[in-house]
Structure 1
Amino acid sequence: MTKAHSRLIWLILIVLAVFLGYLFWQQQQAPNSGRGPGGPIAVSTAKVTVKPLVRQITSLGSGVANNSVQIVVPASDFLTELNIQEGKAVAAGDIIARLNNVQQQARVAELSAVLTDQNRQLARLQNLATTQATAQSMIDEQQTRVNTTLAQLDIARAQLNELTIRAPFDGYLGLRLISQGAYVNAGTVLTTLDDLNTLKVEFSVAEHHLAEIKRGMPVQVTNVAYGNLVFAGEVSAIDTRLDRVTRSIRVHATLDNSDLRLRPGMLLNVKVELANVPALQISERALIPQQNRQYVFVVNSENRVSMREVELGQRIPGWVEVVSGLEEGEEIVVEGIQKIRPGVLINKVGA
């Protein structure tokens, strides 16, 4: 039993030694896996280029009609005319509804007749005054009557006009809420009117962007209903106050919506372009952070690499601006930096 145990132990030790030797061989092969016959290390490189550096801020916003009102009844009476076709485009001044106006028309006609008669009497007194057959006081009294009746006629005409409800601006009618012939009270809502040809987008911007955002800046808007379709507009107004709770400021942008694809109340994804300037940029994958500094591997004409410190500027997803340390057209390593060290020979396998 002792010899059998001894042979078993030696067998286990031999198998273990072979296994450890295999692992050591694998580790020795791994660093050389990217090397060609001459020993260069396979890496991916890219040229340092100048391209537009676009800085954006994103926010969620809501669609708001350029002009929007509720069409309400100014007085209590019967609806004798109702011209509401839901979704129909109307022009400013078009008649939307008319209330019973028989009494007001009669009142206007009555005052018009009275005014005509009073003007005739005033003219007669003025003719008599030329022959000094009447006193000036009588003319003044008649002129007062004329002025009073004229004022009453203006009020009656205004009240008559109020019974005809017109569109205050160009827009599109909403849902009809009342039927023709119904008796309505003052303040009853008949429908809505929205100017949809231009859509406003209301969104909020954080306080630290306040100094950067300006009127006229380009805005891109998307909505889930239209996928990746982008609607272009510009910043049109910036609020004068910040919200005390969120420390953000409300901003309005305007979009051309003549095709009526966007509607008030829509949830919109907003991107505001803060800057678009040419800048020297490299991929973030090329950076080698060491303490508070950033380095890259630069490739020379002999395909050997050297480590160089760079000063960075603004960052955008996947890219970073290089302020100093590199020149346009220089070649740097973007993939495989973990396999190389300064002075080694590389094999460029991609960009």
Structure 2
Amino acid sequence: MAKQEIREVNKPLVENSPVQKRKPSTWKRMLLMLLILLVLIAGIAFGFYRHIQTLIASAPKPTPATVSSIVAQPSDWQPVITSVGSLSAVQGVDVASQVSGTVESVPVKSGGTVKTGDELVQLNIEPDKAQLASLVAAADLSSKTLKRDQDLLSTRTTSQAVVDADAADLKSKNALVAQAQALIDQKTIKAPFAGDLGIVQVNVGQYLSPGTVIVTLQDLSAMNADFLVPQDKVGNLSVGLPVNVSADAQPDKPFMGKITAIMPKIDVNTRNVTVRATIENPDKLLLPGMFVRVSVDVGKPAQLVTLPLTSVTYNSYGATVFVLTAGADGKSKTAKQVFVTTGQTRGDQVAVLKGIDAGQEVVTAGALKLKTGADVVVDNTVQPPNDANPAPQEK
């Protein structure tokens, strides 16, 4: 009996406690709640997925882009060196006074035409004429003295030294006369060549210092066009080659000329060479100082593939075009971007040196909305300009 009581005393007091009975039930409830939460999250995710799929299915499908195209063809291409330059008269000068003096008369008018040797300005020469008369009298006296001493020398009345001194004195007096006469001539300012006058910048009674500009004189019958050419192209130029010159002041009239000089020195700063072409200007339409565009045909025409300028997209990594190829169904067309090497341009065209072969269809408009593999629809109702020699259109 005592042993039984001891065993009962040693049994855990919590064996049948309410806490021990509730513990398995709590874990079950937590697991059930977690399972419900996972099911709820999965349901929300599935609903969101179905919603996205519905939106994607209802979104409008992209339609093929509409572009215009052209079939690349070779054409005759004349290699041309183009540049810009400025005009100057073959003969042109700002007439200035060499000596000082007061303007006595101005026989010419602004904008007039003069011939070689025509008087432009006359300075006051009255004091110089008086001095010239004095020097002439002194020279005349020296001449008479020399003649008298030469006669005395023949009778041995005087010495050879006296005669030599008289001859030297006469030469000195004649030199002074010539100097005075030259000064008078300098005060009569004449046209050094025939040409057109600018605006006369002096007036009667005005005192002129040496170097004062009186009027500009330009011979407009022929003009020089000076332009720069890169050093790698100088070998294609030679004296006598024809040039084509155009000026913004006369957009509808081309001017022809020829190369007359090539600078035998390359500018170390720009690595360019100055070239001069001479252009006949009988109608005086070209004026000194005008900006002109110069083109020089060099070499023989070559066969090059040409495309409109709108076909080529220029990027920092190169020039590209889009080529059209047949789609998988044989009816649609697909765009493919390819790199090209371009050459010179003329008018609305550009020469393609590498990347495009004759016969390939190239996109000419609408390339900005394309990427490789995009389906396109070709509509050539309207084509971009593709003229080698475009003419300006009247507004």
- How far off is 1:315 after superposition? 7.4
Asked if 2 retains the 8 angstrom alpha-carbon contact of 1:57 and 1:274, the reply is yes
CA shift in 2, pair 1:159/1:121, >3 Å: same
Change (3 A) 1:144 1:195: same
Output the CA distance in 2 between the equivalents of 1:337 and 1:80.
76
Cα distance in 2 for partners of 1:229, 1:246 equals 31
Letter in 1 for 2:232: H
CA deviations 1:143-168 (Å, max 9, x no partner) are: 12111101111111111111111112
- AA of the residue aligned to 1:115: A
In structure 1, the residue matched to 2:219 is 195
Structure 1's 118 and 273: CA in aligned 2 closer, same or farther, altered over 3 A? Answer: same
Structure 1 residues 62 and 333: CA distance shift in structure 2, 3 A: closer
- Are residue 265 (structure 1) and residue 283 (structure 2) matched? no
C-alpha displacement at 1:76, in angstroms?
A: 2.5
One-letter code aligned to 2:246: T
Structure 1 residue 175: Cα displacement: 0.7
Given that 1:201 and 1:253 are in contact with CA atoms closer than 8 Å, whether structure 2 keeps it comes out as: yes
% identical aligned pairs: 29
1:220 aligns with 2:248: no
1:64 aligns with 2:88: yes
Question: Equivalent residue for 2:173?
Answer: 149
Counterpart of 1:54 in structure 2: which amino acid? Q
Question: Quick one: which of 187, 195, 205 aligns to 1:181?
Answer: 205
Shift in CA distance, 158/122, structure 1 to aligned 2, threshold 3 Å: same
Q: Name the SS for the 1:261 alignment partner.
A: coil
Bigger fraction of residues in strand: 1
Partner secondary structure for residue 227 of structure 1: strand
Match of 1:83 in 2: 107
Distance 1:248 1:144 in 2: 58
Match of 1:96 in 2: 120
Match of 1:114 in 2: 138
The CA RMSD measured in Å over matched residues stands at 3.4
| Aligned mates of 1:205, 1:162 — CA distance in 2 | 43
Conserved in 2, the CA contact under 8 Å of 1:283 and 1:334? no
Q: Deviations over 1:251-280 (max 9, x none)?
A: 1111011211000111111111112x365x
Query: CA–CA distance in 1 between the matches of 2:202 and 2:344?
Result: 57
Per-residue CA distance 1:273-295 (angstroms, 9 max, x = gap) = 112x365x36547xxxxxxxxxx
State the secondary structure of the residue aligned to 1:190.
strand
Residues 184-225 of structure 1 deviation map (CA, whole Å, 9 limit, x = unaligned)? 222221111112211011111112102111111111011122
Look up the equivalent residue of 1:175 and give its one-letter code. Answer: I
Return the alpha-carbon distance in structure 1 between the equivalents of residues 228 and 206 of structure 2. Answer: 44
Classify the secondary structure of the residue corresponding to 1:242.
coil
Q: 1:294: which partner in 2?
A: none
Higher relative contact order (CA 8 A, sep 6+): 1
TM-score (norm 1): 0.65
Deviation at 1:180, TM superposition (A): 1.5
Counterpart among 250, 254, 262 of residue 278 in structure 2:
254
CA contact (8 A) 1:282 1:319 kept: no
Larger radius of gyration, structure 1 or 2?
A: 2
Structure 1: which 5+ runs fail to align? Answer: 1-15, 24-42, 286-313, 323-331, 339-351
**Alignment gaps of 5+ in structure 2:** 1-56, 64-69, 308-342, 364-395
Distance, in Å, in 2 between the alignment partners of 1:337 and 1:98 is 73
1:240 to 255, 264, 278: 264
Native 8 Å contact 1:197 1:260 kept in 2: yes
Equivalent residue, structure 1, for 2:196: 172
- Whole-angstrom CA distance in 1 between matches of 2:197 and 2:92: 10
Once the two structures are superposed, residues 36-91 of structure 1 have per-residue CA deviations (whole angstroms, 9 ceiling, x without a partner) of xxxxxxx9899x99x6x521111111111212222222223210011232222222
Q: Which amino acid aligns with 1:178?
A: V
Residues 91 and 272 (structure 1), Cα distance of their counterparts in 2 relative to 1, 3 Å cut: same
Once residues 218 and 125 of structure 1 are traced to their aligned partners in structure 2, the CA distance between those partners, rounded to angstroms, is 71
